[in-house]
Structure 1
Amino acid sequence: MEKRGQFTNWAIELQSLAQDGLEYGHDRFDLERYTRIREIATEMMSAKTGLPIKQVKELFSSDDGYQTPKLAVRAAIFNDEKILLVKETTDEHWSMPGGWCDPNLTTTENCIKEVKEEAGREVKIEKVIALIDKSVNVHNQKRVERAINCCSVFFLCKELGGKFVVNTETTEYDYFDVDHLPPLSVNRTTADEVKMCLKAAHDPYWQVICD
């Protein structure tokens, strides 16, 4: 896996220090300084990625409080050795159903909700497959760089039924052979992750993978 560059690391550290300062600082002059440091870190990331300031702010420097990793979920659903994938509206590529965790739900509740919303399927959680750090580059395909690490919890799920409905996040669903996958949205799902999930489905003694 490719590591972040030093420029990105500097911007991330500045953003983290500024966010902590805004959370715990009290002096109004210090708060103004921390706000400006955060703006500079955002401008640095915009210059590095070529993304508009507004978009970088949403992805990179919009959190409050002490900085902790973001949490997301992905659901691995198999049928006759094929995995269920959904087609994302944002890039028209495919991924396992999932997304960011809502603050008022558990990780399993979030997984069940995301599958229902994106694939129209009712599922039962069978086991945790892995907790994967999604903040690094994979297979030389650049992920969105964020100020903090992003952890995805992969769940093996059993399909109970349901019906797909086109929605704001996905336009299609289908089952694919793991050796003949469609173009993947690599910020969400990689081929290695799909193969990992299939191994977990076959192994009754699977040990959870943690980064």
Structure 2
Amino acid sequence: MSEKWLEWAKELQSIAQAGLTYTKDPYDYERYLELRKLSTEIMNTYTEYDMHTIENLFANETGYQTPKVDIRAAVFQHGELLLVQEKEDGKWSLPGGWGDVGYTPAEVAVKEVQEETGYIVKVVRLLAVLDKSKHPHPPSPYHTYKIIFQCEIVGGNPSTSIETSASGFFNRTNLPPLSTGRTTTSQIALLFDFLHEPSKPVVYD
């Protein structure tokens, strides 16, 4: 959260992308291309990723740059929280993922739970809208908003998916190793606060 180089690289990328979108001057267009190249070089210098990967990951979008949206579901059963084991790193997170075009945020939460766990759920309420940069996640090239819904199981049976190798319910004192790029211990604690305080208002950054 304190990596100033990452903040600078993101800001340069955002300025460059806006300029590439709106400029009418061919000379300014070239300058914005150079600015975007500089942002990727910063990433290349301070991370282990090669330039090709960074360009595809970090500077491949067009149009005015806006934050990405990560949608997660908090599903409780008998006082325990549903988590999924990510195949990518073998660690655990709340079910969910990037928002999908054509779906509302709540529909994405329902879809992701079913795809990743086999459970059919319904959304009960919105719990939190968080800015990922304000929480103890590892550095990320994206500026991301995280939306968390509380959901209830209404059907289905547990299963795995192409992205998850297991799912299970955990209490707040017996958590598995978390995939902190997706879910942090402080966010888990916040969700249990909602469980024990149903009138708690929506949390936002």
Shorter chain as normaliser: what TM range? Answer: over 0.9
For 1:94, give the aligned amino acid.
W
| Paired residues for 1:42-191 under 5 Å | 42-136=40-134, 138=136, 143-147=138-142, 149-191=143-185
**TM-score of the superposed pair, with normalisation by structure 1:** 0.90
Deviation at 1:191, TM superposition (A): 1.5
SS of 2:133's equivalent in the other structure is coil
Give the distance between the partners of 1:53 and 1:176, measured in 2 at CA: 40
Question: 1:93-135 deviations in whole A, cap 9, x for unaligned?
Answer: 0001011101211100111111111111110111111111112
> What is the percentage of aligned positions where both structures have the same residue?
38
- The residue that corresponds to 1:24 in the other structure is 22
For 2:73, give the aligned amino acid.
A
Q: Check whether the contact 2:128–2:147 (CA below 8 A) recurs between aligned residues.
A: yes
Q: Check whether the contact 2:6–2:139 (CA below 8 A) recurs between aligned residues.
A: no
- The residue that corresponds to 1:3 in the other structure is 2
Question: 1:19-54 deviations in whole A, cap 9, x for unaligned?
Answer: 001110123332232222212211211211121223
Give the distance between the partners of 1:60 and 1:127, measured in 2 at CA: 33
Q: Check whether the contact 2:3–2:139 (CA below 8 A) recurs between aligned residues.
A: no
- The residue that corresponds to 1:199 in the other structure is 193
SS of 1:135's equivalent in the other structure is helix
Deviation at 1:178, TM superposition (A): 1.3
For 1:23, give the aligned amino acid.
T
Give the distance between the partners of 2:75 and 2:28, measured in 1 at CA: 50
SS of 2:112's equivalent in the other structure is helix
Which of 13, 16, 20 matches 1:15? 13
Q: Check whether the contact 1:135–1:146 (CA below 8 A) recurs between aligned residues.
A: no
Q: Check whether the contact 1:60–1:145 (CA below 8 A) recurs between aligned residues.
A: no
After TM superposition, what 4+ stretches of structure 1 lie above 3 angstroms from structure 2? none
Question: 1:48-92 deviations in whole A, cap 9, x for unaligned?
Answer: 112122332343222222122111111011111111110001101
> 166-175 vs 90-99, which deviates more?
166-175
